[in-house]
Structure 1
Amino acid sequence: MTLADPTVTRVDVVGLPTRYPRRVGRNARLGSHGTGGESRVAVIGTDTRHQGWGLAEGPGGDVADVVGRPLSDLIDPATGVRHERHLWLDIALHDLLAVVHDQPVHALLGGRGNRSVEVYDGAIYLDDLDPDDAPRGPAAVLENCRSDAAAGYGGFKLKIGRGHRWMDRAAGDARDVEITRRVREAWPDARILVDANDGYDLEGFCRYLDAVADVGLYWVEEPFPDDAGDLAALRRHRDAVSPATRIAEGETSPDVEALLPVAHRHDIDVLLMDVVSFGLTRWRRLVPRLAGAGVEASPHAWGRPLKTLYAAQMAAGLGGIPIVEGVPGRTDRVDASGYAFVDGHLTVPDRPGFGLPVPRP
């Protein structure tokens, strides 16, 4: 580094409460997602009094292996975190490095995208099925869309796959179609995405796509467990009935090297590994490979509102990311006022790091 190379003096891992605006229900595979839970974050301090922080997911690492090291041992401005064992601090190290260099993360990443990033609503779950003793029906899903539209969202990702676990297969598939069509009728100009969480098989999902072909879906996500042959067959069917709809894959247990040849054959249009657990460092290496193949990226962000902010910085920095996942809600003790969310677009700040002051005690 040519500017400053501070030494890490401490790493503190703390929990911050996360709050959704409502209880979020089930998806095709899992039960209720609750009201938010706790976000685990790492705060890194240095001998120059610079600080960086960010979400830390997974098992964590050895703090003693980080404290006492110069920042240049841990992260390279051009490529990201140097060693696999330090990737649990990927977000915090990028924040710290950008703070030290007095630049926003999106500039550190190259500034190849637009600072105003389209964001869709990722919180439209299977709330029609709750509660068990008196299910509210499709009106509950429409009400959630209305609430989130009032909060500024212009597009909705609908969870589907009710027939995988929660309803009779035929009845669940019919409900998926009904709700998809009713959302389109209520919001004729909205982007509509659907996410099956692997809750269909190829034949069943092709039937669903036939039934909503005129809806104009922006993308279909994780329709069934990854299989190169099935994805090729889905792409052929998609081309016939809804050619503008993208196929998005890569969230669930992604084998990225196995998915890349499938994407290069244009059987996957969008890869969406998680912005934190996959991480900025890996995304920095991957996005140029995708651009050469005409494949888009859109990092998974569900669960933590902070992830949406990171994904937007990544989109503004790396380019090739036309839309990111929005997680309605807030994280206690975090001042995100530098981010402006208007008409379905999130504008990232020109403040150092991620533009988020270190959480107050």
Structure 2
Amino acid sequence: MKRSQFIKLSGTAIAGTALVPSLWSCSSIAQSQIKELEKHVIDRCELVEVDFRWSRFVGKNGRLDFHGQKHKNTLLKIYTNQGAMGWGLSDKKASEIIPLIKNKKVSDLITPGNGIIETLDSRVDTALHDLMGVILNEPVYKLIGNKASNQVPIYSGMIYLDELNPGSETKGMDAILENCEWDYNYGYRQLKVKIGRSGRWYPHQKGLEKDIEVVNLIHNTFKGRKTQILVDANDMYSLEDTISFLKGITDVPLYWMEEPFIEELDAGRKLKTWMNENGFENTYYADGERKPNLDVCLQLGKEQVMDVLLADVMGYGFSKWIKLMPQIKKMNMQASPHSWGSALKTNYNLHLAAGLGNVCTVEGVTCLSDDIDYGNYPIIDGVVKVSDAPGFGMKILKK
């Protein structure tokens, strides 16, 4: 299943289905909320392109070249005839969907706890959730379940192969430590470190040795400062590479091992067995982010092999996560939906965590923008307090 895969909205499905509140599984949903959503009819939609930048230049990972710093997001704004407006991350192809949601009651498209209807495309998902929260004057996490604490652990997802960045030739490993220190001072206490140098940027053995050196250096530098280290190989290791890497960091109480290789039943089982027998029984195996084979991931979850599922919050879908979370929870599998790229996705995942529970930590993507107010999500000692403002609690500043 590719991250870009979406459920397509069918005009026939929308037009041919008489959607009324009784069709929803709404026994626990206050009828007053449904009635309030019924009052609002979508009368206008707008796509807006905004500029943002990461807090620093982001370099290479094991698979991709320099990521840069300045980027753009496409946002979908949805207005109702009652003057409400909600918005969310989308893309330009949402223009094909806009005619199919116009003149529809909000209650025909989304209700609390259920997410959007299954025939809707994911490109309208977060905008409709934000709109629902604005109409009902509640934060999204309270509308999708309110099952967990609104104090959510968060990790920095911005520590790359920074010794290879332009201008870092003389800094070497200090460039990595400087970025770790910046993230620590910003409030992060979990540091996710990109590895996988052996796949593309270094000779194989030298790259593997450098990965080991980097992780041990960060551990020794931040030891005693209440930090945890996560690593992400971006699928650039083999099973043998992964085991060699772990053998080189036996003194590091590793929080998780992410995407060592493309998820596969036999290799996953062998890795988890080795981890359990060699001192890494408390380290999570996390996967399912890039072009995930969800069937394989869920099978590994059932077998207690894969501990954390990472399917992207936008590519997989916010509402689909609402439906999936109870299933993986029954397997004792946790979640940490992928956030990379935008602080918007980080905040969406914080609401999933507080609303649904079963999220061990959230990927933080520190962003700055003159076009977006990212809302009140302070990071203090590695924990975020999720905004209680209506919807997702963010604002578009661009006029």
Write the mapping of 1:158-307 to structure 2, written as runs, cut at 5 A. 158-188=193-223, 189-241=226-278, 242-307=280-345
SS for the counterpart of 1:12 is strand
Distance 1:114 1:36, change over 3 A: farther
Cα shift at 1:132: 8.8
Aligned residue identity for 1:172:
G
Whole-Å separation in 1 of the counterparts to 2:376 and 2:101? 30
Whole-Å separation in 1 of the counterparts to 2:359 and 2:46? 32
Cα shift at 1:150: 1.3
Whole-Å separation in 2 of the counterparts to 1:169 and 1:58? 40
SS for the counterpart of 2:316 is coil
Aligned residue identity for 1:154:
R
Whole-Å separation in 1 of the counterparts to 2:314 and 2:268? 26
- Of all paired residues, the percent bearing the same amino acid is 36
Length-normalised TM-score, structure 2 = 0.87
Which aligned runs of 4 or more in structure 1 are off by greater than 4 angstroms?
Answer: none
Cα shift at 1:46: 0.5
* Of 133, 140, 148, the match for 2:183: 148
Whole-Å separation in 2 of the counterparts to 1:139 and 1:115? 35
Write the mapping of 1:6-45 to structure 2, written as runs, cut at 5 A. 6-45=40-79
Whole-Å separation in 2 of the counterparts to 1:237 and 1:276? 33
Which shows bigger deviation, 14-23 or 134-143? 134-143
Match of 1:352 in 2: 390
Cα shift at 1:102: 1.5
Whole-Å separation in 2 of the counterparts to 1:344 and 1:187? 14
Whole-Å separation in 1 of the counterparts to 2:118 and 2:140? 20
Match of 1:49 in 2: 83
- Higher radius of gyration, 1 or 2: 2
Aligned residue identity for 1:130:
N
Length-normalised TM-score, structure 1 = 0.96
Whole-Å separation in 1 of the counterparts to 2:160 and 2:283? 21
Give the gaps of 5 or more residues in structure 1: none
Whole-Å separation in 2 of the counterparts to 1:190 and 1:343? 9
Distance 1:134 1:349, change over 3 A: closer
Whole-Å separation in 2 of the counterparts to 1:82 and 1:156? 37
Contact 1:118 1:346 (8 Å CA) reproduced:
yes
Give the gaps of 5 or more residues in structure 2: 1-33
Aligned residue identity for 2:35:
T
Whole-Å separation in 2 of the counterparts to 1:29 and 1:132? 21
Whole-Å separation in 2 of the counterparts to 1:216 and 1:258? 27
Whole-Å separation in 2 of the counterparts to 1:221 and 1:59? 31
* Of 314, 333, 352, the match for 1:314: 352
Aligned residue identity for 1:225:
I
Aligned residue identity for 1:235:
K
* Of 345, 348, 363, the match for 1:325: 363
Match of 1:103 in 2: 138
SS for the counterpart of 1:37 is strand
Cα shift at 1:81: 1.1
